Amino acid sequence: MRWGALLSLTLLAACIPKAEQRPAVPPSRPSPNIVPADPDVATRQCHADLRREGVQFRILPDRVFDGGCTALGSVQLLDIGTPVANLGAMTCPLAHQLARWTREAVQPAAEQWLGAQVVRIESMGTYSCRPINGQAGGKLSEHGRANAVDIGAFILSDGRRISLLTGWNGQDENVKSFLRSVHREGCRRFQIGLGPDANSFHRDHLHFDMGRGPYCR
C-alpha cells in the first residue's frame, strides 16, 4: 500500500508542468556610438549664454563615430535672427560665436558696404568626418569634431547674392570690402579664420573653427 501511494505521487508530479525556463535577457545598452550627455559647467554656461542672447537651439546627444570623429557638447541652431542654411551639429562655443558674428559683424558690414541687410547666409556645412582639406592621410579636420563651419555666400534684401567665389577678387570694390570685413571680424571671434587668400581649397568659402589658434589667413 505504501509503495502504491509513493508511485501515485511520483506519477502525479510528472504530470505537473514545470515553470518555463526563459534565457536571461541582458539589460539594454545604448548604441556604442551614442554617449549619454552630461554637460560640463562650461557647456551649461554656453547654453545659458545662447538663451540670454535670444538664440533658439536644440541640444544634441553626444556621439562618437568611426575614424576618431565626434560630435560632443553639440547643438543645432534653429534661429539666430538671420536664417543660415545647411547647419548641422556644432559645438556650443562655435554656435555661440557664429550667432554673435552674424549679428555683430555680418549685418553691420552689409549695411555699411552694400546698403542692404543679409536675409540668408549660405553655409557649406558643419560636421563632416574628414581630414583637413579632404586630403587623405592628413590630420582630422575640426569639421570632424563638429567644431567648424564654412560660409559660402550671403543673400541680400535687395535680391543680390554675394558669393566668396565670385566676389572676393571681383570687380565690385564694395563687395570686396564687405567680404574682407566679415572675414576679418570672424578672425576676431573664432580661433581659426581662413578665406580665399589662405589656399585654393578655400577659394569659395570662409572657414571658421574653434580649434587651436589663433590663426587668420
At residue 162, the pLDDT reads 98
Q: Are 47 and 92 in contact (CB under 8 A)?
A: yes
If you count them, how many residues does the chain have?
Answer: 217
Q: What is the pTM of this model?
A: 0.81
Alpha helices in 88-167, H assignment, sequence order: 92-101, 107-114, 164-167
Which residue from 133, 102, 94 is spatially nearest to 118, judged by alpha carbons?
102
Alpha-carbon gap, residue 114 to 156, rounded angstroms: 9
| Banded model confidence at residue 10, pLDDT cuts 50, 70, 90 | very low
Q: Using the predicted structure, report yes or no on whether residue 11 has a pLDDT greater than 90.
A: no
| Banded model confidence at residue 78, pLDDT cuts 50, 70, 90 | very high
How do residues 81-125 score in pLDDT, each as one tens digit? 999 999 999 999 999 999 999 999 999 999 999 999 999 999 999
How do residues 130-157 score in pLDDT, each as one tens digit? 988 777 777 999 999 999 999 999 999 9
- Of residues 139 and 15, which shows the higher confidence score? 139
Distances (CA, A) of 96 to 4, 38, 51, 53, 198: 87, 19, 10, 9, 24
Q: Using the predicted structure, report yes or no on whether residue 50 has a pLDDT greater than 90.
A: yes
91 phi/psi in degrees, rounded to 5: -60, 150
* Torsion of Cα atoms, 138 then 141 then 144 then 146, to 10°: 180
Q: Are 176 and 170 in contact (CB under 8 A)?
A: yes
Alpha-carbon gap, residue 88 to 151, rounded angstroms: 13
Q: Using the predicted structure, report yes or no on whether residue 79 has a pLDDT greater than 60.
A: yes
Alpha-carbon gap, residue 202 to 213, rounded angstroms: 18
